[in-house]
Amino acid sequence: MPQIRKINLRQYNYTFYGDLLGISYLYAVDENATKKVLDEFYQLVFDKFRSYCETNRMRVILFSDTLIVTGKDLKHAFSTLGRLYLWLFHKGIFLRGAIVKGKLTFEPKIVVSNMTKHLPRGNVLFRATTLEKKAKGARFLIEKDIAEDLLPDQWKLGEQYKKNISLNDIPKRDFKRKIVVREDAENEYEYLWPCFLHSIERKIDDVRRDMAKNFYKQLHEKVGSYIEREKEHSKAMKMLLKQAKKREEITLQYFESNPTPICKNKVYSGV
C-alpha cells in the first residue's frame, strides 16, 4: 500500500503570493471601476481573514492588487485560500497566486519620517513571485517541494492518480486530492480550487458551467479591448475547469462505488 510522508501540517511554514488579474488593464479603461474592484477585494479579505490574523494563525499583507499570506498551518492555508478563490470568483474578481515553502519574515526596520523599510529575509518572496507568473488564468500554483511533501509518490505522476486512488491515509474530501500536476507544465503542480469534492448533492456541472460563463463575460468587461490577453486567460481557465471536473469525477466515482473504504484519518480536511 502506498504511503505518504508523515509531516506536521500545523507546523509547516508557507508563504502565498497572489495578484488580481486584469487590474493594470482595467486602470487604463476605468479608474473608478478599478477602485470598486479593489475595495471589494480588500473588504472580502478583511472579513474572511481578520480572525485568523488576530489569533496569529497567519499574517496578511495587502498592497494595491497584491495579496501576501504567510504562516505555519499549511492545511489551514489551503482550505482558507481555496475558499477565497471561490468567494472572489463569484464577485467577478480573479486571483492568480502561488504558495511556496518557508515563512516570510523581514529584517528589523528603522522607521523615520516618511520612510519605511520592508526588506524580506531569504528568497521566499522571490520564489513565490517567480512561480506566480508561470501560468495564465485564476490559478493556484504550488511549489514542487510542498507538493512532494504532501503527495504520495504515485500521485506525482499525473495520470497515476486513478490507479492509486484508494490510499488508506487520505479521505475523500482531503485537500491533497485537489493537488495535481499541471497539464501545461511538466513537474509543476497546482491546486484545483474549483473542484467540489465536498458536496456530491449539488448540481456540480451547472455550477461549473456558470463559473466558466461568468469568467469569460466578466474578464471581457474588465480588460476591455485587450483581446489577446483575454484569450490567454480564458484558455487557461477552460483547462483548469476541465481538469477539476475530471479529478472530481474520478474521486467521487470511486467513493460512490466503495462507500466505506478503510481510512485511518476521517477528519475533514477539504475546502
Torsion of CA 178, 184, 185, 188, to 10 degrees: -10
Tell me the three cell numbers of residue 235: 484558455
pLDDT at 207 over 90: no
Lowest mean pLDDT among 34-43, 105-114, 117-126, 199-208: 199-208
Residue 222 lies in a domain: yes
Render pLDDT for 60-117 as a digit per residue (tens, 0 to 9).
Answer: 999 999 999 999 999 999 999 999 998 998 888 889 999 999 999 988 777 777 777 7
27 in any annotated domain: yes
In a domain, 265, yes or no: no
Determine the structural domain holding residue 164 and report its residue range: 9-257
pLDDT digits (tens, 9 = 90+) for 105-159: 988 777 777 777 788 999 999 999 999 999 988 999 999 999 999 998 888 876 7
3-state secondary structure of 252: helix
- Examine residue 156 and state whether it is found in any structural domain, yes or no: yes
Does residue 117 belong to any structural domain of this protein?
yes
Q: What percent of the chain has pLDDT over 70?
A: 79
Whether 266 is covered by a domain: the verdict is: no
- 264 domain-assigned: no
**CA–CA dist 12, 146 (Å, integer):** 9
Cell numbers 492555508 correspond to what residue?
77
Give the position of cell 529575509. 121
Q: Specify the CATH number for the domain of residue 234.
A: 3.30.70.1230
Neighbours of 30 (CB within 10 A): 14
Comparing C-alpha atoms, which of 2, 7, 95 is closest to residue 45?
Answer: 95
Q: How many domains does the chain have?
A: 1
Please tell me the distance from the alpha carbon of residue 102 to that of residue 146, in angstroms, as a whole number.
Answer: 10
Q: Is residue 133 part of a domain?
A: yes
